[in-house]
Amino acid sequence: MERTIKSALISVFYKDGLEPIVRKLHELGVLLYSTGGTQTFIEQLGIPCTSVESVTSYPSILGGRVKTLHPKVFGGILARRDLEEDQKHVAEYGIPLLDLVIVDLYPFEETLKQTNEEKTIIEKIDIGGVSLIRAAGKNYKDVCIVASRNQYPQLLSLLESGNGNTTLEERRAFAGAAFTECAHYDVAIADYFNRDSAAENFQLSFGHKQSLRYGENPHQSAAFYGDLDSLFEKLNGKELSYNNLVDVDAACQIISEFSNPAFAIIKHTNVCGIAEREDVATAWRDALAGDPESAFGGVLVTNQHINAAVAAKISELFFEILIAPAYDEDALTILKSKKNRIILVQKTAFYPTREYKRVLNGVLVQDADTRNYAEWIEAGAQNTTEPEKEDLLFANIVCKHLKSNAIALVKDKQLVGKGCGQTSRVDALRQALEKAKQSGFSLQGAVMASDAFFPFNDCVQMAHEAGINAVIQPGGSVRDSDSIQYCKDNGMAMVMTQTRHFKH
């Protein structure tokens, strides 16, 4: 069912991209209605425009809060062209029919980024715009609604190819996009008002859809929703894949834990190598040494500037992605020698405040794990030395970022062995010990972190026999005393934190 656009209401906040549409509508003989700044914009193009005020006989009032909220405006949008009763009302009350509505919304989310002043934020909650969009969307059988400047090219193409005519399918598609725009807008407002309390309903909305090549596997379709450009600048390489994005998220989270020079290597969201050093070159060398086998094809991340010397060393390894806050030009020349390498500049540190997971027919929501430890309870044979304490703090952070069950072995702020994703804690420790052995590390003087309590004393016994002299764990087992007693009997330090770090 085609409809010819004979009249249009245009009232937008953003004017960029609007001029060619206005000119095309004028060329097609479409009668234009508008308000305020948009009316001025149209008239400055030398194109006639009828003010909404002259239709409603009401001026813009309440400081611009009320401009289009009037029966003569909404009647012209909602009137059903094929319903006789509606057309009688249109004639009786002198309501001009509106075939096209171009309306966008006040920049609420942008305002949130710019200020904390509630008065300013509240004034960017759009009332009339949302109402006009919903009205036009509801009556898509007769009216075409364009609710975002992102759709201007599509509208212009439609006007040119259809000569001012629109099909039912085209109008329905525009309506769907318009309701999506409103839903996203309303979720942002609801989040603002509920930011200090838990809302009854779970609501999330992300724009900036980016289609991905595929999901975790080639037979799965996928997309990313979110503004990656606010976090990164991509300097080289192919488009980020689903698995790339998952690993980049893990990389950004762990590197945000460190303020001194650090380098980490991520594989399937687990950190397989990490070191904290006085300079980035040494941090890279020691992160790689932690597990050079697993590092192949990994995601690399640092909190330091990359120079040419470090870039040359990194380039000796095949990797998918490198993330850093800055790069020297000669470093980029080296790194860009492989066209598919993804090189990212991280613009700002990232760590989530909330986490979400689909489970069954619903969603689990939790606060992010932002804590290292709640208490520092020295429970072993003696108190930890300062070097041991530094290593234990480091190990506990690393362990937090490994899939459970997890064990991290650390020596001099370098990950020397790790076990993760195991169904028993003993197996996680066996894996960590084997990794350390494969990489040629001595565990004399090393420390061990566990993401959860030791149900028996077998883990501390195995650690002690390997040369480990200090352990950190949350505690909480009914048999904590077994592990504590073993440490006391064998001269080991043990710290209990009262903070578990499960990660599934």
Please check the confidence at residue 69 and state whether its pLDDT lies above 80: no
- In percent, the amount of the chain with pLDDT more than 90 equals 75
Calculated CA dihedral for residues 318, 323, 329, 331, nearest 10 degrees: -30
**pLDDT of 319:** 95
End-to-end Cα distance, the chain = 52
Please check the confidence at residue 230 and state whether its pLDDT lies above 70: yes
Structure tokens at 328: 């020297």
42 SS3 class = helix
Q: Long-range contacts of range 59-66, CB-CB < 8 Å, 24 or more positions apart?
A: 60/35, 60/36, 64/36, 65/127, 66/128
Structure tokens at 430: 């066996």
CA neighbours within 13 Å on the CB side: how many for 96?
21
- pLDDT tens digit string along 303-313? 999 999 999 99
CA distance 167 to 180: 20
**pLDDT of 55:** 85
Q: Which of 24, 72, 138, 184 is catalytic?
A: 138
Q: What's the whole-number average pLDDT of the chain? A: 92
**pLDDT of 198:** 66
**pLDDT of 428:** 95
Helix residue ranges, H only, 237-341: 242-255, 280-289, 292-295, 308-314, 329-335
Residue type, 490: N
User: Quick one: average pLDDT of 426-450?
Assistant: 95
- 230 within 8 A of 206, measured Cβ to Cβ: no
**pLDDT of 487:** 95
Min mean pLDDT across 11-25, 64-78, 202-216, 352-366 is at 64-78
Contacts of 425 (CB under 8 A, 6+ apart): 405, 407, 450, 452, 454, 455, 459
Please check the confidence at residue 326 and state whether its pLDDT lies above 90: yes
Verify whether residue 503 is a known catalytic residue: no
- 81 within 8 A of 74, measured Cβ to Cβ: no
Name the nearest CA neighbour of 418 among 445, 388, 386, 448.
Answer: 448
CA–centroid distance for 16 within its chain: 27
- Widest Cα–Cα separation across the chain: 97
Verify whether residue 208 is a known catalytic residue: no
Name the nearest CA neighbour of 29 among 226, 149, 165.
Answer: 165
β-strand partners of 415: 410
User: Quick one: average pLDDT of 209-228?
Assistant: 93
CA distance 375 to 53: 66
472 SS3 class = strand
**pLDDT of 204:** 80
Q: Which of 6, 234, 268, 403 is catalytic?
A: 268
Q: Compare 328 and 194 and report the one with higher pLDDT.
A: 328
CA distance 394 to 276: 9
Name the nearest CA neighbour of 416 among 356, 463, 481, 484.
Answer: 463
Please check the confidence at residue 83 and state whether its pLDDT lies above 90: no
Structure tokens at 427: 């197996």
213-226 as b/e: b if 16+ CB within 10 A:
eeeeeeeeebebee
425 SS3 class = helix
Structure letter (DSSP) for residue 213: S
CA distance 39 to 12: 10
Instruction: For residue 288, report the phi and psi dihedrals to the nearest 5 degrees.
Output: -65, -40
- pLDDT tens digit string along 160-199? 998 889 999 999 999 999 999 999 999 888 888 887 766 6
User: Quick one: average pLDDT of 396-421?
Assistant: 96
Q: Compare 196 and 449 and report the one with higher pLDDT.
A: 449
* Angle subtended at Cα 32 by Cα 30 and Cα 35, rounded to the nearest 5 degrees: 170
350 SS3 class = coil
Indicate the pTM of the whole model.
Answer: 0.82
Structure letter (DSSP) for residue 230: G
Helix, strand, coil fractions of the chain, as percent rounded to 5: 40, 20, 40
CA–centroid distance for 229 within its chain: 10
CA distance 457 to 105: 62
Name the nearest CA neighbour of 77 among 133, 34, 25, 135.
Answer: 135
Q: How many residues does the chain have?
A: 504
CA-based R_g, the chain, Å: 31
pLDDT bracket for residue 63 (50, 70, 90): confident
Q: Compare 453 and 195 and report the one with higher pLDDT.
A: 453
CB atoms within 10 A of CB 349: 13
Structure tokens at 165: 């005519």
Which region, left, alpha or beta, applies to residue 433 given φ > 0 means left and ψ of -120 to 50 means alpha? alpha
